[in-house]
Amino acid sequence: MSETKRRLTGIKPTGVPHIGNYFASIKPFLHPEPGVESLYFIANYHSLTTQREGGPLLHSTYDVAATLLALGIDLDHTVLFRQTDVPEVAELSWILSCFTGMGLLERAHAYKDAVTKGRDLHAGLFTYPVLMAADILLYDIDEVPVGSDQKQHVEIARDIAGSFNHAYGQEIFKLPNPKIDETVMIIPGLDGKKMSKSYGNVIGIFEEEKSLKKKIMAIPTDSTPLEEPKRVEGSTIFSLFELFGTDDAILDFKKRMNQGGMGWGHAKVELFECMRDYFSPYRQHYETLMASRSEIDRVLLEGAERARAMARPKLQAVRQVVGFSS
Ligand code: TRP
């Protein structure tokens, strides 16, 4: 029997789940490959580092969960849970912090970035990677698929695991590997820059139809007259169309734009329809879930029970080796 591989990913609930999130951290995880056991959690402890309003944090937590469920995340092969429903992670985080050199955290890019930008610093921003290490090490994870911005955090988790194991001369923690998917492209936002909440250029996965249309119609394009042939490469409209259209539709779209006689206004309407139709089969389910949080809670709590069944024995082993219990 071949061994199953355990993979984990976390998504921070901040703002609406948008199509940048969809392609980077949702779509690749909806249907795990055979032989892979996935853990997928909503990192609401981590959101507290930047979100100081309770209502929006809570709303976003449900929004992420409803989005994943509506899009059909495979619950037979994925343990889906909310980070705060597994309090073991907070205890482990404290224990791990005692095995984390200050220098390791001082070198973290995300932290250095916050310093450079003159953000209000607090200890949570500094120890963010320790909590992230606890997320990973609690479950004997083999692989953590991450974008390049998070790779260093997984390496820090590896270092912390190594320090702990070394201190007690035992392999308590499995060393996780970051897995960077080089093929994940950068999703352009409304202004052509990378789609990101911090740039205010996002399109929600379940953006309302009216608002979706308005946003797409406002995307800047060049002023080539309607009759003239248009180059589509490098345009935001085409880059987005390429993500959502079928291969045939993309070819056809490009051909008609290249021929001339089709204006950007028309192109935008086609993009709008294409994006609307892409997510429309899932929208009703999403709205039903969002209307009553009880079904989401039920699924998340069930996931948390499965996660805790893995977390408890690990934490128990840690408590024993450090001398908290016999
Ligand atoms: N830090 C990740 C992000 O901002 C979210 C996250 C928290 C995470 N804990 C994790 C990702 C553990 C992978 C593994 O995107």
Summarize pLDDT for 33-77 with one digit per residue, the tens: 999 999 999 999 999 999 999 999 999 999 999 999 999 999 999
With bands split at pLDDT 50, 70 and 90, how would you rate the model's confidence at 257? very high
- Is residue 116 located within the same domain as residue 21? yes
Ligand 1: atom nearest CA of 154 is: 14
Residue 168 is encoded by which pair of tokens? 């007690």
Q: Are residues 40 and 166 in the same domain?
A: yes
CA of 64 to the centre of ligand 1 (A): 14
Q: Does one domain contain both 225 and 117?
A: no
Residue type, 316: Q
Pocket of ligand 1 (CB under 6 A): 8-10, 12, 43, 46, 132, 135-136, 144, 146, 150
Closest-lying ligand 1 atom to the alpha carbon of residue 146: 13
Q: How confident is the model at residue 2, as a pLDDT?
A: 62
Per-residue confidence band for 148, with pLDDT thresholds at 50, 70 and 90: confident
- The pLDDT assigned to 198 comes to 87
Cross-strand pairs, 144: 178
> Within a domain: residue 197?
no
Q: Quick check: is 127 in a domain?
A: yes
Q: 234's torsion region: left (phi>0), alpha (psi -120 to 50) or beta? A: left
- CATH number of the CATH domain containing 15: 3.40.50.620
Residues 252 and 301 in one domain: no
Residue 82 and residue 41 in contact, taking contact as beta carbons nearer than 8 Å: yes
Cα(153) to ligand 1 centroid in Å equals 8
Query: Do 165 and 275 belong to one domain?
Result: no
- Tell me what pLDDT residue 147 has: 87
Number of domains in the chain: 2
In angstroms, what is the span from residue 310 Cα to ligand 1's centroid?
19
Contacts of 156 by beta carbon, 8 Å cutoff, 6+ apart: 100, 104, 105, 108, 129, 132, 133
Which of 65-84 are b and which e, b meaning 16 or more Cβ less than 10 Å from the residue's Cβ?
bbbbbbbebeeeebbbbbbb
- Residue 248 and residue 108 share a domain: no
User: Could you tell me the strand order of the sheet in which 177-180 lies?
Assistant: 78-82, 36-42, 5-11, 143-146, 177-180
What percent of the chain has a predicted confidence (pLDDT) above 90? 92
Q: Whose CA is nearest to atom 8 of ligand 1?
A: 10
Alpha-carbon distance of 310 to 308, in angstroms, equals 5
| Residue 45 and residue 146 in one domain | yes
Is 210 found in the same domain as 299?
no
Flag whether 191 is in a domain. Answer: no
**Runs of H (alpha helix) within the chain:** 19-21, 44-47, 54-70, 88-97, 102-106, 109-116, 123-137, 151-168, 209-217, 236-244, 247-259, 264-291, 293-322
Residue 8 CA: which ligand 1 atom is closest? 14
**Per-residue pLDDT, 311:** 98
* Residues forming a β-bridge with 136: none
Cβ pair 83, 10 in contact under 8 A = yes
pLDDT at residue 123 greater than cutoff 90: yes
pLDDT number for residue 1: 52
Q: Is residue 201 part of a domain?
A: no
Question: 36 and 128 share a domain?
Answer: yes
Residue 103 lies in a domain: yes
As a whole number, the mean pLDDT across the chain is: 95
Ligand 1 centroid from CA 248, angstroms: 36
* CATH code for the domain in which residue 223 is found: 1.10.240.10
> 170-180, pLDDT tens digit by residue?
999 999 999 99
Instruction: Examine the pLDDT at 279 and tell me if it is beyond 80.
Output: yes
Position in ligand 1 atom list of the atom nearest CA 132:
9
Name the residue range of residue 74's domain: 5-186+293-322
Shared-domain flag, residues 127 and 245: no
Q: Which pTM does this prediction carry?
A: 0.95
Name the residue with the closest Cα to ligand 1, atom 6. 10
pLDDT for position 186: 84
Measured in whole angstroms, how far is the alpha carbon of residue 261 from the centre of its chain?
40
pLDDT band at 204 (very low <50, low <70, confident <90, very high): very high
pLDDT for 208 beyond 90? yes
Long-range contacts, stretch 313-318, CB < 8 angstroms, 24+ apart: 314/88, 314/92, 314/137, 314/138, 314/139, 314/140, 315/88, 315/91, 315/92, 315/138, 317/172, 318/92, 318/95, 318/172
Nearest to 186 by CA among 30, 29, 20, 28: 20
Q: Which residue's alpha carbon is at the smallest distance from atom 9 of ligand 1?
A: 132
259 and 222 part of one domain: yes
In a domain, 198, yes or no: no
- Nearest Cα to Cα of residue 10 among 46, 55, 40: 40
Do 145 and 212 belong to one domain? Answer: no
Atom nearest to 9 CA in ligand 1? 13
Output the CA 93–ligand 1 centroid distance in Å.
Answer: 14
Low-confidence winner among 24-28, 70-74, 265-269 (lowest mean pLDDT):
24-28
Dihedral sign (CA 239, 182, 151, 158): positive
- Whether 200 is in a domain gets the answer no
- Please report the pLDDT score of residue 185 as a whole number: 74
Return the pLDDT at 181: 79
Polymer length of the chain: 326
Residue 194 lies in a domain: no
